Structure 1
Amino acid sequence: MISDLAASVDNAGVLLQAFGFDKVRRNSRSALTALVLLGLEPGEPWNTATNPRLGVTVVMGLIAERWGKEYAPNTRETFRKQTLHQFVDAGFAEHNSDAPEGRTVNSPKNNYRIAPAALSVVRLYGTRGFQDALDAWVAEAPTQQAAYKATREMQMLPVTLPDGSVFRLSPGGQNPLIRDMIEEFCPRFVPGGQVLYLGDAKDHRYDIRQDDVFARLGLAFDEHGKNPDLVVHDERGGRLFLVEAVTSHGPIDFGRREHLKRLFATDKAGLVFVNCFPDRATMRKWLPDLAWETEAWVADAPDHLIRFT
């Protein structure tokens, strides 16, 4: 079993190299990820590979269960950002192929699977037909990647920032509300404000972050902190707006406000805490939890701001 396991992992690394992946994307973590996404166990032949849809946590669990390698829970983002994203971008895997409209980044339904075209090639690994199939896949890969990128771009949500530039957010989740926060809330209540941070609710690769301005304010942005969805600097008014999109997750309650005060403690700008809701029905649901000294804004009544003082 030990020799089967080691041989399978080594062969998976060689397979990933053949598909054109770099050293990080063919290390043991990536090789094990590929093996689990292919539905394989130690010693099983490549022609029996399948492509189940699996979430990151399930992938890590199967690596431990089937392959005897345990990874700490806090490495989940490493799997996602340093292996799976690249598998998807190369056309080797697909993300949420069962939900083209997209899912929020923290949805338990997020999943990955080996792309059907890549699976057909993998099943020939070790046979005479493998190289020809791989060459055909590589020849088609730019087209596949371009099609994937075009589809993704078409689905992306365009957002006009306060400076007039256009930015794109992932589709779905809280991002439509975040777009309203930028396009409707900011011009009304933070005219001339600069977006210092915008957190994409689905995919943090699309975040905006202005580290130089944070530094001028005496702040070091903590990417691992529990940050608000949007941070806007009103330089003229000497204020820093910490803005939260509230749909399925909680608003700025007392504990959250205290956390944000510590996270963004600066003597160069006063802090303004804003809860944003898509409609009044959602606001009513969370009303008892809102902290004093916060604001409430509703996207379907954008001209009004409620202050809890």
Structure 2
Amino acid sequence: MASVDEAQDILRTLGLPPAQSNEMSALTLISLCALGPHDPWTKAKRTRCTVTKGIMDYVRRTFGKDYAPNTRETFRRQVLHQFVQAHIADYNPFEPNLPTNSPRAHYAVTEAALAAVRAYGSTKWKEAARKFVTEHGELKVLYSPEREKQKVPITLPDGQEVRLSPGKHNEVQKAIVEEFAPRFAPGSELLYMGDTAKKNLVVNADALAALGIPITDHDKLPDVVLYDRVRKWLFLVEAVTSHGPVSPKRIVELEAMLKRCKAGFVYVSAFPDMTEFKKHAKDIAWETEVWLADVSDHLIHFNGDRFFGPRSRS
């Protein structure tokens, strides 16, 4: 049943640090899943929860735990912010364009966390938890001092510096922004870049919306999106280290999602080296580009009789 002890066990197993696997955090998780003390975890569901009326009131009514009104910020700053970073909760998923100070601001358990939580107590729990941690990492590791030292610094086109979580995938993303963009998309704007630990690291929501790109679908966007305003070219770049080159299937998905965007699409599969490229060569779609970070001055054109530029749409 959805007890505080079980919720704490779930949070610890999914990689939350001690400060986010305490009683308040456990009750928050149960509230986000809309469960009572006698409900099995299989009944967890994704609901819209504000902080005061959605979570604190629910905890008081359902579990008899009455937190003082001034603890609202503690819920928000010490639990929910970290839940979002850990991919346990989404912020404003049902109204993503709400202003920061909107009274309608809300949270909901993520689809990925919901799938894991529903398996708790069953024979599928260990595999579900392992899948979640593999895909989203562990916040307790992300918060460790040693990991901070290992982060990958990256300088954006506007001179701003951000730090990506360590890993081969993000090293390729760094190369895309710092090496590919100046050579093949000079003067372009970085509209979107994800991170293996933080899905939406850089998001220019206004520019994406102006291009007709649905900003609620970040999880479907390529790893890096650049826009050349002069040529009106949108560079859709996948950083490939284990999976995910621009395949025919991926193009169909992206064209459906970006159907309102009038820019020319330049699809790029970016690899760290020739070895990784060879593993995926058979899956790469024609009329797309391939770039290898270790020979950054060159492109491989999977273009038939056409040279570098936007792909013709089906």
* TM over 0.5, shorter chain: yes
TM-score range, shorter chain: 0.5 to 0.7
CA–CA distance in structure 2, aligned partners of residues 269 and 20 of structure 1: 43
Aligned sequence identity (%): 36
Greater Cα offset, 279-288 or 261-270:
261-270
Number of equivalent positions: 217
Deviation, structure 1 residue 71:
5.0
Deviations 1:124-159 (A, max 9, x none): xxxxxxxxxxxxxxxxxxxxx9xx575443222110
AA of the residue aligned to 1:244? E
Q: Between Structure 1 and Structure 2, whose CA radius of gyration is higher? A: 1
Gaps of 5+ in 2: 10-18, 48-78, 87-130, 304-314
Aligned to 1:78: none
Deviation, structure 1 residue 263:
1.6
1:221 to 198, 215, 218: 215
CA–CA distance in structure 2, aligned partners of residues 151 and 88 of structure 1: 18
TM-score, normalised by the number of residues in structure 1: 0.58
Deviation, structure 1 residue 271:
0.6
Deviation, structure 1 residue 300:
0.5
SS in 1 for 2:29: helix
Aligned to 2:41: 69
User: Which residues in structure 2 correspond to 1:1-309 (within 5 Å)?
Assistant: 25-27=25-27, 29=29, 68-70=40-42, 85-86=82-83, 107=134, 110=137, 148=143, 150-204=145-199, 207-223=201-217, 225-309=219-303
CA–CA distance in structure 1, aligned partners of residues 279 and 136 of structure 2: 25
- Sort the Cα spacing of 1:181 and 1:73 in 2 relative to 1 into closer, same or farther, 3 A: farther
Deviation, structure 1 residue 257:
1.0
Gaps of 5+ in 1: 13-18, 34-62, 76-81, 90-103, 116-144
CA–CA distance in structure 2, aligned partners of residues 229 and 161 of structure 1: 15
Question: What root-mean-square deviation, in Å, do the aligned CA atoms of Structure 1 and Structure 2 show?
Answer: 4.3
AA of the residue aligned to 1:260? L
Deviations 1:108-135 (A, max 9, x none): 694577x9xxxxxxxxxxxxxxxxxxxx
CA–CA distance in structure 1, aligned partners of residues 272 and 4 of structure 2: 53
Deviation, structure 1 residue 226:
2.0
> Is the 2:8–2:23 Cα contact (8 Å) retained in structure 1?
no
Deviations 1:25-60 (A, max 9, x none): 352635999xxxxxxxxxxxxxxxxxxxxxxxxxxx
- Sort the Cα spacing of 1:88 and 1:284 in 2 relative to 1 into closer, same or farther, 3 A: closer
CA–CA distance in structure 1, aligned partners of residues 44 and 260 of structure 2: 35
AA of the residue aligned to 2:176? M
Deviation, structure 1 residue 185:
0.5
Deviations 1:86-116 (A, max 9, x none): 5999xxxxxxxxxxxxxx9872694577x9x
TM-score, normalised by the number of residues in structure 2: 0.57
CA–CA distance in structure 1, aligned partners of residues 241 and 222 of structure 2: 14
AA of the residue aligned to 1:251? P
SS in 2 for 1:179: helix
